[in-house]
Amino acid sequence: MGNVITERRGHVFIVMISRPERRNAIDANTAEDLFRAWRYFDGDPDLYVGIITGSGGYFSAGADLYDIDRLINRVTDPNGPLGFTRLRLSKPVIAAVSGYCVAGGLEIALWADIRVADRTAKFGFLERRFGVPLVDGGTQRLVRIVGLGRALDLILTGRLISAEEAYQWGLVNYLVDEGKALDKAIEIAELISRYPQETLRNDRLAVYEGLDKPLSEGLIIEMNYGLKSIRAGEIYEGVRRFKEGAGRHGDIINI
């Protein structure tokens, strides 16, 4: 799909932004390609976990300012200017980050459920220098992940932070050696793919729908998704396997 490369690996779907000559900056055409890729992923019952990454040693420099007029016209797009950052998928996504993950690229990484970074990764809202607003979820997601003080630090100063600092903040979940981010993301995705999927997805959605709700409301959301999972029947198969000895002593591999 033009500037987006996709790959299936079993139940895992990899989406790679491929404009290395522009540090994987996203123009309007690439935004459309990304939208189509993620809708395809979400609609395919054989795909369980997605991975978003970039080519050429970069994650993404965000919006391509050479295509600013077309991207401005996309600000009110219900799916987000970069194509998909306002979508709530029914399945989990992992960001595999190396090199620059800045501006809209950082907003893309925040859209993912889990972030894996290698030691070359750098994070920041560099668009602060040019009067470009955050319109792909950055002002809303970053504060939920790292807290108000740290979120405002990055949003207001526009400074870059290293992969190590991002890991210390909790912005990055896994920190790996240079060139290993995608490998680690695939490892995590394959683990997630082994679990009963409907219950996993329902628990994930309960987390998102309960954000910023009072605890009493959040518990009702959790209960309703839990009942949906119970009715799906995965629990009964899981209990059977447990009784037969699977997963004992915290084993998450031989399940």
Q: Tell me the β-bridge partners of 26.
A: 63
One-letter-per-residue 3-state SS of the chain: CCCEEEEEECCEEEEEECCHHHCCCECHHHHHHHHHHHHHHHHCCCCCEEEEEECCCCCECCECHHHHHHHHCCCCCCCCCCCCCCCCCCCCEEEEECCEEECHHHHHHHHCCEEEEECCCEEECHHHHHCCCCCCCHHHHHHHHHCHHHHHHHHHHCCCEEHHHHHHHCCCCEEECCCCHHHHHHHHHHHHHCCCHHHHHHHHHHHHHHCCCCHHHHHHHHHHHHHHHHHHCHHHHHHHHHHCCCCHHHCCCCC
The pLDDT value recorded for residue 151 is 98
Distance, in Å, from the CA atom of 33 to the CA atom of 2, rounded to the nearest integer, reads 7
- pLDDT at residue 253 is higher than 70: no
The pLDDT value recorded for residue 243 is 84
For 167-218, write each residue's pLDDT tens digit: 999 999 999 999 999 999 999 999 999 999 999 999 999 999 999 899 999 9
Kindly state the average pLDDT of the residues 107-134: 97
How many residues are listed for the chain in this entry? 255
**Residue 255 binned pLDDT confidence (cut-offs 50, 70, 90):** low
- Whether residue 125 contacts residue 166, with contact meaning beta carbons closer than 8 Å, is answered with no
Distance, in Å, from the CA atom of 64 to the CA atom of 1, rounded to the nearest integer, reads 18
Distance, in Å, from the CA atom of 23 to the CA atom of 17, rounded to the nearest integer, reads 9
Q: Is the pTM of this model over 0.75?
A: yes
- Describe the crossing of helices 148-157 and 138-146 by its angle, rounded to 10 degrees: 140
For 127-173, write each residue's pLDDT tens digit: 999 999 999 999 999 999 999 999 999 999 999 999 999 999 999 99
Kindly state the average pLDDT of the residues 230-252: 83
Give the lowest-confidence range in 37-46, 62-71, 80-89, 241-250: 241-250
- pLDDT at residue 7 is higher than 90: yes
Q: What is the bridge-based pairing of β-strands 174-176 and 114-118?
A: parallel
Active site residues: 107, 127
Q: What is the bridge-based pairing of β-strands 49-54 and 114-118?
A: unpaired
For 56-75, write each residue's pLDDT tens digit: 999 999 999 999 999 999 99
